[in-house]
């Protein structure tokens, strides 16, 4: 499973990229706001750090304006994936930009039917939001499974990009289900290395090593 990092924090992206933990980046208007930087400027810098897809989101609501914004964003770098919402106008935009040869990430997906429409419109990525479904007492992971089944039934090429990842369990379950990609904030990705038994075992090893009175260097 590919790891995308969900942030516009350039330093955090560079740190994870140096460790080989970044296959791409996802951004959205909220993350751009948090960065405090110009969208074109920060997106271009991110595209220079990572070689994989970098999702940059349109903010218009009508197809014609979305298409214009998408083409402007796609000029930033060859690895831009234009991010559009899963609305009818978003699907129109997806079809047009996909036919033009651009990568498109269709976001805010909350049903298998929506994912089916996005695949038929030529989406490169579909972004189902796991955590937001969990927030309203629905099973976000069940949606990932449903989309996986639908796409496999008909050999759709659209990649499932599991989004709104909140926990380590979300990541492992998405990998078991067969999501192509997951995107998560830097803290969640770093947190995957943590386990209480690892900490406990290391503590015991260090205590025993201290008793030997030895040094390696």
Q: Between the CA of residue 30 and those of 92, 106, 183, what are the distances in Å?
A: 24, 17, 15
C-beta pairs of 191-196 under 8 Å, 24+ apart in sequence: 192/168, 194/168
Q: What is the pLDDT of residues 61-79, one digit of tens each?
A: 999 999 999 999 999 999 9
Q: What DSSP character marks residue 210?
A: H
Give the per-residue pLDDT at 193.
Answer: 96
The pTM score is 0.95
CATH of 2-212, one of 3.40.50.2000, 3.40.50.10860, 3.20.20.70, 3.90.226.10: 3.20.20.70
Give the per-residue pLDDT at 195.
Answer: 96
Give the per-residue pLDDT at 39.
Answer: 94
The mean per-residue pLDDT over the stretch 97-105 comes to 98
Q: Which residues, 6 or more positions from 31, have their beta carbon under 8 angstroms from its beta carbon?
A: 6, 7, 8
**Exposed, middle or buried, 11 (CB in 10 Å: 0-12/13-18/19+)?**
exposed
Q: Pick from 16, 17, 21, 19: which is nearest to 3 by CA?
A: 21
pLDDT band at 160 (very low <50, low <70, confident <90, very high): very high
Per-domain residue ranges for the chain?
2-212
> Quick count: other Cβ atoms within 10 Å of Cβ 124?
21
Q: How far apart are CA 103 and CA 202, in angstroms?
A: 44
Give the per-residue pLDDT at 145.
Answer: 98
Q: Which residues, 6 or more positions from 24, have their beta carbon under 8 angstroms from its beta carbon?
A: 2, 3, 4, 5, 50, 52, 53, 54, 55, 81, 181, 183
Give the per-residue pLDDT at 6.
Answer: 97
pLDDT band at 19 (very low <50, low <70, confident <90, very high): very high
The residue with tokens 């990541």 is: 171
Per the DSSP assignment, residues forming a β-bridge with 193 are none
Give the per-residue pLDDT at 70.
Answer: 98
Q: What is the pLDDT of residues 20-39, one digit of tens each?
A: 999 999 999 999 999 999 99
Name the average pLDDT for the chain: 97
Q: How many helices (H) and strands (E) does the chain have?
A: 11, 8
CA end-to-end span of the chain: 38
Pairing between β-strand 125-128 and β-strand 181-184 as defined by DSSP bridges: unpaired
Q: Which residues are catalytic?
A: 83
Q: Pick from 94, 151, 160, 149: which is nearest to 127 by CA?
A: 160
């Amino acid at each position: 499973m590919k790891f995308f990092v969900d942030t516009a924090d350039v330093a955090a992206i560079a740190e994870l990229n140096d460790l080989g933990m970044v296959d791409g980046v996802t951004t959205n208007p909220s993350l751009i706001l948090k960065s405090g930087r110009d969208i074109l400027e920060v997106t271009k810098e991110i595209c220079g750090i990572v070689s994989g897809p970098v999702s940059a989101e349109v903010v218009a609501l009508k197809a014609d304006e979305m298409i214009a914004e998408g083409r402007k964003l796609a000029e930033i770098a060859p690895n831009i994936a234009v991010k559009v919402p899963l609305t009818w106008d978003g699907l129109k935009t997806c079809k047009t930009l996909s036919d033009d040869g651009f990568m498109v990430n269709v976001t805010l997906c909350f049903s298998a039917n929506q994912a089916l429409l996005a695949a038929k419109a030529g989406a490169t990525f579909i972004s189902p939001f796991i955590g937001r479904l969990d927030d309203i007492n629905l099973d976000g992971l069940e949606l990932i499974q449903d989309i996986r089944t639908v796409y496999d039934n008909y050999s759709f090429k659209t990649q499932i990009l599991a989004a709104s990842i909140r926990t380590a369990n979300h990541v492992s379950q998405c990998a078991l289900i067969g999501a192509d990609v997951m995107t998560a904030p830097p803290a969640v990705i770093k947190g995957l290395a943590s386990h209480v038994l690892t900490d406990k075992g290391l503590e015991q090893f260090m205590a025993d090593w201290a008793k030997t009175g030895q040094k390696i260097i």
